[in-house]
Amino acid sequence: MSASDQPATKSKGLTLSPLRNEFDIAPGTVHGGSLKVTNSTKKTMKVNLTAEEFSVINSQYDYAFSQVSDVTKWVSFENSEINLSAGETMKVKYTIGVPLAAEPGGYYLSLFATTNTQSQTDNSVNSQQRVASLLYITVSGKVTRVGKLVSLSSPTMVSGKTNWSVLLQNTGTTHYRSRYNVQIVNLFSNEIEASSQGDALVLPGSLRLINSNLPLPKLPGIYKAIYTIGLGDTPARVEIRYIVYITPLLVLALVLSILALYFWISHRHNKKLKNKAN
C-alpha cells in the first residue's frame, strides 16, 4: 500500500472516514473515537472492523501491516461486525486503552473495514475489499521529535513545470509534522515572485522523501529559491538555491536564434570558399 499520509478510503462502494487521526494518550488511560462506515452500493453488506499495526518500509512511505502485535490489542470496537443496508452510513465507536507500562513514544495503527464482494452470477465470493483509517498515537511522557534534513534537490535550469525534493529523517521517539515552504525571490528587488507550502508526517526511525512542485515566477530570469523545512523539535532549516527560469517561448526564440546564426555563419563560410574558388 502506498502512502502519502492518506490511504484510499473508498473501494467499490465501501467508504470509511476520517482518513487519519492523531491522539496524545497518557499511559493507563482510555481514549474514545469513532468511524463512519458507508455502504454506497445497492445491496446489503456485512462489514468487519479490525486493527493492525503499521510501519513504513522505504523513503517513499509504502506501508507494511501486521496483525500480530500487542499494540493492536489496545483497540476495541463497540461493534466489530456490522450490517449495512444499501446507502446506509453507520457510526462505530471504538476505544484505545493504553497500558500503564507503555513506553512513551509513537505507535501506529490502521483501523480496517472489510467486506466481501460477491459475483452477480453464482453468488460466490469474488474479492475482499478493505478501507483504512490511520491512527497516529503518541503515548505521552518524555518523547522527542528529532528531525534532520539529509538532502535537498533543487533544479538549476527551469523552463516549465518541475519538482524539488527533500529527504528527511526522524531519529526521535514519535512522529513530527514537517511544515515546509518555498519562496522564489527576485534577486534585484528582493520581492517574493512565487511561493508554495505543504506538510508531511515523518515517523520515528524513518527516512521520508518529499516531492513537490516548484513555484514559478511570471517572467524569465535568475532567482533565489528559499526553502524553509520544519524538523519537529529541531529548529527549521533554511536553504538557499539559485535557479535560472526560461519560459518555453524564450527557449524557442533562443533555439531559432542559434539556428539562424548557424545558417548565417555557414552561408558566409560557403560564400568565402566560392569566392576563393573563382
Taken in order 264, 267, 273, 276, the sign of the CA dihedral is negative
70-79, 93-102, 241-250: segment of lowest average pLDDT: 241-250
Mean pLDDT of the chain: 89
**Would you state the cell numbers that stand for residue 270, as one nine-digit string?**
560557403
pLDDT tens digits for range 24-65: 999 999 999 999 999 998 999 999 999 999 999 999 999 999
Most confident segment among 136-140, 258-262, 265-269: 136-140
Q: Where does the pLDDT of residue 128 fall: very low under 50, low under 70, confident under 90, or very high at 90 and above?
A: confident
- If we measure between CA atoms, which residue out of 49, 122, 119 comes closest to residue 83? 49
Task: Give the alpha-carbon dihedral of 9, 15, 20, 24, to 10 degrees.
Answer: -150
Common-topology check for domains 10-139 and 147-249: yes
In which band, very low, low, confident or very high, does the pLDDT at 123 lie, cut at 50, 70 and 90? low
| pLDDT reported for residue 46 | 94
For residues 186 and 160, the model is more confident at 186
d(CA 36, CA 5): 19
Of 72, 31, 70, the residue nearest 49 (C-alpha): 72
Residue scoring higher pLDDT (164 or 253) = 164
Contacts of 38 (CB under 8 A, 6+ apart): 14, 15, 16, 17, 84, 88, 89, 90
pLDDT score at 117: 64
**CB 96, CB 30: distance < 8 Å:** yes
Tell me the pLDDT tens digit for each residue of 232-260: 999 999 999 999 998 766 666 667 778 77
Q: Domain spans of the chain?
A: 10-139, 147-249
CATH architecture of 147-249: Sandwich (2.60)
Mean pLDDT over 147-173 rounds to 96
Provide CATH code, domain 10-139: 2.60.40.10
